[in-house]
């Protein structure tokens, strides 16, 4: 498909939500973009952040035995004890050293938190509710320990059920979910050591520009040190997706064509940055149209307008990011990241959560396109969430990303924002559990 055949979506380009919808639909419909057998086994420590490839059921109940929730005494009875009740102390149960006899009526054992509760007992009393005394047995030299309830007991028996965590055959984790520390801890509690996970898409990054020189080398007048590669590679790594390959190529059509062909041959996704506009040296988009097709070009978004999505050949999705670093980072977060998650098998891709904030200071902008402004999150003394814009919002200013906690969602038509203006914002923090 030639570029001329790509239908424009107005002069300003596609709205962000529509672009995301089209990408997700295209990836879903192109079955060749993902092999159904592309899974591998991973140890639990290596499975963090990966997407599960199977539903896992518990082989047995967990913890598998009734356990005391408190340090106290297990009582040989099934009903709530009454003030003044007494029991003979006949043993002890601790984690890893259970009392293996059945408790009779009027008998009790010392029990520690997490220890098995013996048969015959359906009640544990905390130790602070009891008093221990001694009495000599009649016609014997032995001394018995007597337990007395001296404070009123609560209706809570303080016993954890044998299937409190999981019952046998209950689902531990579902397929197609992002594995968290809590998920993996739960799997480990069931005695498992590894899981099936989807293989991560291999991502190839192409950086183009005659003006680029490698950091650490001499920079002549008019040249810039190449930073998009570092920014995008570390961003993707932070999101859980290490790059497979990274190429920096001059703005020469032959070299760029070779690079696109090479990356599409070894990677599942090809990403480029730069060469996406309409300048004399912007070759990437026509080359992708030549090698495959361009599904759409241009976003109605600030920053991020010169963005393209398409295919190299008929199987490798292509994401053409803007050349300005902030625009490249934001379109990565908004469009590339959800797409990669979809390719990895995640049914509901993780996206930044949204919250309502108040603008800390007044701000004036040029209307026309919706904007994602970088801001810091602050909390006022009264608990109100405040957003403080990170200085200049130029798409070339990487500093606007430094320390940013939020992406403020600014409507297209807004020109002047007064202090205290309520805005939706995306929270730039990853979940922990």
Tens of pLDDT, residue by residue over 70-122, are: 999 999 999 999 999 999 999 999 999 999 999 999 999 999 999 999 999 99
- Which residue, of 104, 139, 160, is where some domain finishes? 160
pLDDT in tens, 362-374: 999 999 999 999 9
Same-domain status, 251 and 388: no
How many independent structural domains does the chain possess? 4
pTM: 0.86
Same-domain status, 81 and 124: yes
Task: Give pLDDT, residue 221.
Answer: 86
Same-domain status, 243 and 338: yes
Residue 274 pLDDT > 50: yes
Domain that holds residue 180: 39-60+171-198
CA distance 387 to 341: 29
Task: Give pLDDT, residue 36.
Answer: 56
**Burial of 244 from C-beta contacts in 10 A (0-12 / 13-18 / 19+):** middle
Same-domain status, 218 and 334: yes
Is residue 165 domain-resident?
Answer: no
Residue 6 pLDDT > 70: no
Task: Give pLDDT, residue 37.
Answer: 59
Same-domain status, 216 and 189: no
pLDDT in tens, 24-67: 999 998 754 455 558 999 999 999 999 999 999 999 999 999 99
Helix (H, G, I), strand (E, B) or coil at 103: coil
Same-domain status, 399 and 250: no
Which residues have C-beta within 8 Å of that of residue 308, sequence separation ≥ 6? 276, 284, 285, 288, 294, 296, 297, 298, 318, 319, 320
Q: What band does 210 get if pLDDT is binned at 50, 70 and 90?
A: confident
Task: Give pLDDT, residue 191.
Answer: 95
Task: Give pLDDT, residue 11.
Answer: 61
Helix (H, G, I), strand (E, B) or coil at 289: helix
Task: Give pLDDT, residue 53.
Answer: 95
Is residue 215 domain-resident?
Answer: yes
Widest CA span of the chain, in angstroms? 110
Is residue 361 domain-resident?
Answer: yes
Same-domain status, 311 and 388: no
Q: Among the ranges 193-197, 220-224, 248-252, which has the highest mean pLDDT value?
A: 193-197
CA distance 362 to 378: 15
Helices 284-291, 253-266: crossing angle, 10 deg rounding? 50
Task: Give pLDDT, residue 33.
Answer: 46
């Amino acid at each position: 498909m030639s570029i001329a055949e790509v239908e424009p979506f107005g002069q300003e380009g596609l709205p962000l939500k529509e672009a995301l919808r089209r990408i997700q639909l295209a990836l879903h419909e192109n079955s060749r973009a993902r092999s159904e057998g592309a899974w591998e086994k991973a140890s639990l420590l290596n499975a963090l952040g990966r997407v599960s490839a199977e539903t896992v059921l518990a082989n047995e109940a967990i913890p598998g035995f009734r356990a005391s929730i408190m340090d106290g005494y297990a009582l040989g009875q099934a009903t709530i004890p009454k003030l003044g009740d007494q029991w003979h102390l006949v043993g002890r149960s601790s984690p890893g050293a259970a009392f293996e006899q059945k408790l009779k009526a009027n008998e009790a054992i010392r029990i520690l938190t997490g220890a098995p509760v013996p048969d015959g007992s359906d009640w544990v009393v905390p130790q602070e509710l009891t008093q221990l005394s001694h009495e000599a047995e009649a016609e014997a030299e032995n001394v018995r320990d007597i337990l007395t309830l001296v404070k009123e007991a609560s209706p809570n028996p303080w016993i954890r059920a044998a299937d409190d965590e999981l019952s046998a055959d209950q689902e531990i984790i579902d397929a197609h979910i992002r594995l968290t520390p809590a998920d993996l801890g739960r799997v480990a509690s069931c005695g498992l050591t590894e899981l099936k996970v989807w293989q991560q898409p291999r991502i190839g990054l192409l950086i183009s520009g005659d003006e680029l020189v490698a950091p650490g080398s001499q920079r002549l007048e008019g040249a810039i040190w190449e930073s998009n590669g570092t920014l995008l590679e570390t961003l993707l790594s932070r999101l859980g997706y290490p790059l497979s390959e990274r190429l920096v190529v001059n703005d020469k059509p032959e070299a760029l064509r070779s690079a696109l062909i090479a990356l599409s041959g070894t990677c599942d996704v090809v990403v480029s940055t730069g060469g996406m506009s309409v300048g004399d040296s912007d070759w990437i988009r026509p080359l992708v149209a030549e090698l495959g097709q361009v599904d759409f070009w241009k976003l109605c978004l600030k920053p991020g307008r010169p963005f393209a999505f398409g295919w190299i050949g008929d199987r490798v999705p292509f994401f053409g990011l803007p050349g300005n670093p902030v625009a490249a980072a934001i379109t990565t977060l908004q469009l590339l990241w959800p797409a990669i998650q979809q390719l990895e098998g995640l049914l509901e891709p993780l996206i930044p959560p949204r919250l309502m904030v108040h603008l800390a200071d007044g701000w004036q902008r040029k209307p026309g396109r919706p904007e994602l402004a970088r801001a810091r999150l602050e909390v006022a003394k009264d608990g109100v969430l405040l957003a403080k814009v990170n200085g200049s919002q130029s798409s070339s200013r990487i500093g606007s990303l430094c320390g940013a906690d939020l992406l403020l969602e600014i409507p297209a038509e807004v020109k002047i924002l007064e202090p205290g203006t309520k805005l939706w914002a995306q929270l730039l923090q990853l979940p922990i559990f």
